[in-house]
Structure 1
Amino acid sequence: MSTPVRPYDREQLRALATVLDEGSFEAAAARLHLTPSAVSQRVRALEQRAGRVLVVRSRPCRATDDGAVLARLAGQVALLERDAADALGGGARDASDSGPVRLAVAVNADSLSSWFPAALVGLPADVLVDLRREDQDRTAALLRDGSVTAAVTSDAHPVQGCRVRPLGAMRYVAVAAPAFRDRWFPGPLDAAALDRAPVVAFNRADALQHRFAERLVGRAVAPPVHYVPSNGAFVALLAAGLGWGMVGEQSLAPLLADGSLVVLAPDGHLDVPLHWQHWALRTPTLDDLTDRVVRAARTALRSPPAV
């Protein structure tokens, strides 16, 4: 006969999740209204129960692979308990659960600065969001390690334990200041010109410019790159002539209209399909957030290409 699996202690799970969320035992203690020693004891007891180290005691604290599994469990338990209590009229929620529920969501910078905020308008007062800005090609990693409940991602393959919904495609257009175009692209937009002309990228994970150039000319290019990790500064420096770059079409209309930027390849663009991935739970809170995100995306993004 197999040995029955004992459930994990709820308060120990909460202590682990809060340490990882806040980054330190001291900050977690303040949020939980406990002493740092009490939080440490709960995490240590959970590690003994699991038989492995769950937290790397660094600055900030971070989860081990096993810790990420239990941190994700802690978030799922908290969300299920909160919605069950609300379904029962709130009477089942104890004093320690009286605060709002917090949903950590990973969103790429371009969505965060354009269509995604509309999804949060009118969010229930007892739901708080913790938005984590991350490149759309990397947001799924935050789901895998349990850091977030949901994510806007370019990954169509569901992370284990998650559901995925297509949102649509964000279209990017290659643009530059008129003076920059005249200087660096006086002739055709060919591979030689794209190898020489400086590029502005959001960060080192931003491969949009290189992907567009390779698709346009049929080979990889290696231009000098400026890294500008701010949407506002990114567009402002393009308009100032620092380099060329890919900008989402939603942000372009006024800049094209006043002549600040010009399109480099009128017949070319790059469509990035986006997806909404979230924990495979059916709870009113998560379902409501999913409905909001899908509606906001439907009004702002392009329909994904037919397969």
Structure 2
Amino acid sequence: MNFEQLRALAAIIDEGTFEAAADLLRISPSAVSQRIKALERSVGQVVVRRGAPCTPTEAGVVLLRTARQVQVLEAETWSALGTGAASRPVTPVAVNADSLATWFVAVLREAAGWPDTTVKLHVEDQDHSSKLLSRGDVVGAVTGSPTPVNGCRVERLGSMRYLPVAAPALVERYRTGSGVDWGAMPVLEFNAKDALQDEVLRARGVSPPRHTIPSSEAFLAALRAGLGWGMIPELQLGADLDDGSLTLLEDGAHRDVALYWQVWTLDAERLDRISESVRRLGRQALRDAGRKSLDADAAPG
């Protein structure tokens, strides 16, 4: 294999098709196809599932990780040589939607001042973003997993606290004595993987009507509109509880979700820079940031 073949593989997975990859690389689709065929011959396995979009096979995932790492090191090399080539490489990062809607905005504000880097965000649930790291789709991820992906290091950022809240009008509609009818009052969920509300409902043995709102900003708007109750990040609430826009349904029913930063174990200034930003700003915003950090390195792979 060679780097041009790996570059073609990464372009196909990023762009979804051979034709789009050809446009990105400024070569013909035939040349892209030839590079992939040569790569598959050299490793003796199919590396791309041809489809819409194209996806990597298991062998392709391994090679894709290598391709991403080589791209990072190539950018570092050009920078060290001072040639100006490859001056704005893409740094793909995964972050959960609630972090992106709150504390991670400060990271983006700092990234705006990095003239040599562009950021590509993948928005993924914190319990599933580690998969993007293992596939080589991203170089770093805000994740809920303390177990390092092979070839990555992990450190604890802190905990994001979620509070059960609802609009006052919704609470009044479903009030029963000193509480609410949890089995009848509609609940909001972010997506099918959102288990925060289920934890509260399981303790009560009920299953109320559900609305799915797959956007952090729209989720908060739906809460304020009285569509249902839901678990919302404390960081996102602002003055909602103070001004009466939302009501806390129950004291002590909060959930704390630990967040970690996982990043490849490469000696690269760009990775160190974004890691420092995420670490510092995450710990400033999140709870329990003073706990002992997990700095675990896995063997490169």
Name the residue aligned to 2:125.
135
Farther off after superposition, 246-255 or 8-17: 246-255
Q: 1:225 aligns with which of 203, 210, 227?
A: 210
Q: 1:52 aligns with which of 32, 45, 48?
A: 45
Tell me, what secondary structure is at the counterpart of 1:281? coil
Task: Work out the CA distance in 1 between the residues paired with 2:219 and 2:64.
Answer: 35
TM-score w.r.t. the length of structure 2 is 0.91
Name the residue aligned to 1:197.
185
**What is the letter of the counterpart of residue 89 of structure 1?**
G
| Residue 269 (str. 1) matches residue 254 (str. 2) | yes
Q: 1:33 aligns with which of 4, 18, 26?
A: 26
Give structure 1 regions of 4+ aligned residues with deviation exceeding 4 angstroms: 304-307
Distance 1:305 1:226, change over 3 A: farther
Identity of aligned residues (%): 48
CA-to-partner distance for each residue in 1:244-284, whole Å, 9 max, x for gaps? 00111112132223211111012321110000011121211
Task: Work out the CA distance in 1 between the residues paired with 2:252 and 2:290.
Answer: 17
Farther off after superposition, 54-63 or 120-129: 120-129
Task: Work out the CA distance in 2 between the residues paired with 1:221 and 1:67.
Answer: 44
1:177-192 to structure 2, matched below 5 A, reads 177-189=167-179
Name the residue aligned to 1:303.
288
| Residue 87 (str. 1) matches residue 72 (str. 2) | no
Task: Work out the CA distance in 1 between the residues paired with 2:53 and 2:116.
Answer: 28
Query: Could you tell me how far 1:137 is from its partner in structure 2?
Result: 0.8
2:283–2:289 contact (8 Å) kept in structure 1: no
Task: Work out the CA distance in 1 between the residues paired with 2:56 and 2:206.
Answer: 38
Name the residue aligned to 1:73.
66
Name the residue aligned to 1:148.
138
CA-to-partner distance for each residue in 1:155-187, whole Å, 9 max, x for gaps? 011111111011110011000011111222333
Tell me, what secondary structure is at the counterpart of 1:103? strand
Q: 2:195 aligns with which of 191, 207, 224?
A: 207
Q: 2:227 aligns with which of 239, 242, 247?
A: 242
1:150–1:276 contact (8 Å) kept in structure 2: yes
**What is the letter of the counterpart of residue 69 of structure 1?**
V
Task: Work out the CA distance in 1 between the residues paired with 2:271 and 2:76.
Answer: 9
Query: Could you tell me how far 1:188 is from its partner in structure 2?
Result: 5.0
Query: Could you tell me how far 1:220 is from its partner in structure 2?
Result: 5.1
Task: Work out the CA distance in 2 between the residues paired with 1:251 and 1:116.
Answer: 12
Distance 1:59 1:189, change over 3 A: farther
Name the residue aligned to 1:3.
none
Name the residue aligned to 1:10.
3
Unmatched 5+ stretches in structure 2:
293-301
Task: Work out the CA distance in 2 between the residues paired with 1:65 and 1:264.
Answer: 46
Unmatched 5+ stretches in structure 1:
1-7
Distance 1:130 1:177, change over 3 A: same
Task: Work out the CA distance in 2 between the residues paired with 1:25 and 1:258.
Answer: 54
Q: 1:162 aligns with which of 152, 157, 170?
A: 152
Task: Work out the CA distance in 1 between the residues paired with 2:116 and 2:158.
Answer: 29
Query: Could you tell me how far 1:189 is from its partner in structure 2?
Result: 4.8
| Residue 104 (str. 1) matches residue 92 (str. 2) | yes
Distance 1:139 1:175, change over 3 A: same
**What is the letter of the counterpart of residue 106 of structure 1?**
A
**What is the letter of the counterpart of residue 270 of structure 1?**
R
